[in-house]
């Protein structure tokens, strides 16, 4: 006969707190065993009473099947250490299990790390599978860094996002090989990115809103991305930014010195700028790294016109939504799927080539001309510009050459883009179960409140 019950460490419990062993004893289902087995089992339970871990009131509520207080943040019961004993073979070794850990020494070490946290912080950490990788990370953290780390995890991977989510494991694998200094700096960077996302300006409507602040949209034309309406990702800035930063770390393509440099710029940036830095850093090739770092260093000195804020628009949901107005004054919205990694990497390559060949000031002149144009046509505009510079260099010798080129070329590209969008809107509206006749549509330029 085999009995499994929660394993406990050697830490003592306060008299005002309920031990896991006592609470679990109340829940045990009576079983029929021999007197010898009963004596052995009672002996083991008694050991639990003497060697129990501290537990929060929320733990006790879960064990007793009580509901937590209204308004309390809900966590799943999380991973619990267990030990299995075989009552039919009293001399057999006990089997320990805590997540991926099956060694009592490692389990004790992991529980010792959790004892450094407050009860609420322990609730957060219990959501993550204990492993030697995670243990090695926690052992390198001082108390302050560990406390921040739990906050990073809670903000980046809230409980409902942990199901079938490999991001935490990818993050832990990326952090495991870091030095103590690098680990601390990376946790601080995560904190800064989360704060930037939360403090960033809320998206404002590009069209007039009604008295309740809602957009008066007659029809929305969705573009599916991975089978989901893009609107589901709207406003989730913190998730998008920290996920991309995790991806960057997981690729492990930077030395610690380079990563410290990136982190320094990220911590000194705002949300829009960090979004562009992280995206380019995640995709940049080895051969383009030096140009990337040179442009990163120089861009910080250019004031409010920042090339990385411009780059970040390629992964901005709002920048990929366009509004069109009917002849009756009604509005239709259409959102496009954002460019994939390969498309953005190609776009970044064009920008880095332009930086190496013509410098950041020349690029900023171009950004001023195209920044308010749809994000979907930016790559096409830069491709056309770089082709014309190579084939018609005589047109780019004056100080206002970029402005002259923009006046002669942007309008045609933009008009063709809107014509395609309007055609797609009409096709979608006609195919509805109850077709919507929209009449003549024109692009609704950004509304000035």
> Structurally, how many domains does the chain consist of?
3
Helices marked H in 64-213: 104-114, 119-125, 132-139, 143-156, 167-176, 180-199
131 and 11 both lie in a single domain: yes
Instruction: Tell whether 98 is covered by a domain.
Output: yes
CA distances from 385 to 135, 138, 370, 409, 415 (A): 52, 50, 11, 9, 17
pLDDT, position 297: 93
Cα–Cα distance measured from residue 443 to residue 446, given in angstroms and rounded to the nearest whole number = 9
pLDDT, position 167: 86
295 and 261 both lie in a single domain: yes
Least confident of 192-201, 226-235, 383-392, 401-410: 226-235
Instruction: Tell whether 166 is covered by a domain.
Output: yes
Can you read off the two tokens belonging to residue 117?
């946290």
pLDDT (tens digit, 9 = 90+) per residue, 282-328? 999 999 999 999 999 999 655 556 899 999 999 988 888 889 998 88
State the DSSP code for 51.
Answer: S
Residue in 308, 324, 222 with CA at minimum distance from that of residue 266:
308
Please tell me whether residue 406 adopts helix, strand or coil conformation: helix
> For the chain, what percent of residues have pLDDT higher than 90?
54
Instruction: Tell whether 211 is covered by a domain.
Output: no
Averaged over 425-431, what is the pLDDT? 92
Instruction: Tell whether 373 is covered by a domain.
Output: yes
Instruction: Tell whether 209 is covered by a domain.
Output: no
Higher pLDDT among residues 225 and 30, named by residue: 225
| Confidence bin at 30 (pLDDT 50/70/90) | very low
262 and 284 both lie in a single domain: yes
Q: Which of 255, 276, 301 is the last residue of a domain?
A: 301
274 and 325 both lie in a single domain: no
183 and 78 both lie in a single domain: no
Instruction: Tell whether 306 is covered by a domain.
Output: no
Residue in 311, 315, 376, 324 with CA at minimum distance from that of residue 350:
311
Average pLDDT, the chain: 80
What is the pairing mode between strands 321-326 and 228-229? unpaired
13 and 42 both lie in a single domain: yes
Q: 61 with 68: CB under 8 angstroms?
A: yes
pLDDT, position 356: 97
16 and 117 both lie in a single domain: yes
pLDDT (tens digit, 9 = 90+) per residue, 343-358? 999 999 999 999 999 9
154 and 244 both lie in a single domain: yes
Instruction: Tell whether 309 is covered by a domain.
Output: no
Please tell me whether residue 449 adopts helix, strand or coil conformation: coil
- Most confident stretch, 7-16, 88-97, 235-244, 417-426: 417-426
Higher pLDDT among residues 145 and 161, named by residue: 145
Instruction: Tell whether 49 is covered by a domain.
Output: yes
**Does the pLDDT value for residue 332 go beyond 60?**
yes
pLDDT (tens digit, 9 = 90+) per residue, 38-97? 565 566 555 444 434 343 333 333 333 333 343 444 445 678 888 887 777 777 788 889
Cα–Cα distance measured from residue 115 to residue 122, given in angstroms and rounded to the nearest whole number = 8
Which domain covers residue 275, as residue numbers?
Answer: 148-202+235-301
249 and 297 both lie in a single domain: yes
Inter-residue long-range contacts of 434-437, CB under 8 Å, 24+ positions, other chains counted: 436/218, 436/219
- C-alpha angle 165-339-326 in degrees, rounded to nearest 5: 115
* H/E run at residue 2: strand 2-6
Burial of 332 (0-12, 13-18, 19+ CB in 10 A): buried
Cα–Cα distance measured from residue 139 to residue 117, given in angstroms and rounded to the nearest whole number = 13
342 and 447 both lie in a single domain: yes
288 and 353 both lie in a single domain: no
pLDDT, position 71: 42
Q: Which of 105, 139, 173 is the last residue of a domain?
A: 139
396 and 420 both lie in a single domain: yes
CA distances from 236 to 94, 193, 230, 326 (A): 46, 13, 11, 31
């Amino acid at each position: 006969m085999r009995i499994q019950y929660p394993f406990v460490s050697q830490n003592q419990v306060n008299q005002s707190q309920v031990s896991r062993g006592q609470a679990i004893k109340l829940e045990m289902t009576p079983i029929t065993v021999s007197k010898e087995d009963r004596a052995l089992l009672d002996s083991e339970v008694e050991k639990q009473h003497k060697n129990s871990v501290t537990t929060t009131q929320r733990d006790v509520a879960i064990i007793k099947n009580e509901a937590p207080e209204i308004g309390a943040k809900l966590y799943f019961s999380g991973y619990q250490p267990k030990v299995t004993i075989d009552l039919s073979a009293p001399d057999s070794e006990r089997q320990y299990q805590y997540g991926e850990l099956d060694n009592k020494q490692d389990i004790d070490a992991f529980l010792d790390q959790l004892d450094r946290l407050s009860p609420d912080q322990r609730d957060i950490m219990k959501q993550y599978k204990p492993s030697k990788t995670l243990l090695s990370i926690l052992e390198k953290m001082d108390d302050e860094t560990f406390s921040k780390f739990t906050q990073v995890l809670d903000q980046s991977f809230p409980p409902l996002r942990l199901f079938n989510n490999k991001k935490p494991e990818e993050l832990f694998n990326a952090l495991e090989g870091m030095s103590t200094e690098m680990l601390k700096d990376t946790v601080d960077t995560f904190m800064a990115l989360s704060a930037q996302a939360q403090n960033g300006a809320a998206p404002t409507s590009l069209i007039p809103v009604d008295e309740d602040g809602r957009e008066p949209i007659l029809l929305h034309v969705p573009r599916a991305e991975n089978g989901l309406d893009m609107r589901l990702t709207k406003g989730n800035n913190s998730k998008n930014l920290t996920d991309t930063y995790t991806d960057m770390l997981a690729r492990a393509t930077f030395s610690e010195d380079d990563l410290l440099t990136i982190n320094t710029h990220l911590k000194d940036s705002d949300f829009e700028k960090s979004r562009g830095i992280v995206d380019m850093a995640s995709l940049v090739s080895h051969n383009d790294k030096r140009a990337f770092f040179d442009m990163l260093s120089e861009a910080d000195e250019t004031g409010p016109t920042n090339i990385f804020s411009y780059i970040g628009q390629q992964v901005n949901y709002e920048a990929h939504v366009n509004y069109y107005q009917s002849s009756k004054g009604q509005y239709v919205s259409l959102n496009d799927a954002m460019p994939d990694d390969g498309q953005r990497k190609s776009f970044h390559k064009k920008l880095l080539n332009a930086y190496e060949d013509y410098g950041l000031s020349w690029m900023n002149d171009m950004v001023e001309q195209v920044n308010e144009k749809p994000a979907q046509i930016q790559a096409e505009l830069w491709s056309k510009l770089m082709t014309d510079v190579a084939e018609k260099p005589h047109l780019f010798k004056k100080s206002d050459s970029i402005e002259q080129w923009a006046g002669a070329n942007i309008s045609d590209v933009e008009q063709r883009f809107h014509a395609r969008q309007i055609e797609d809107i009409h096709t979608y509206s006609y195919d509805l179960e109850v077709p919507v006749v929209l009449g003549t549509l024109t692009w609704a330029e950004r509304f000035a409140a």
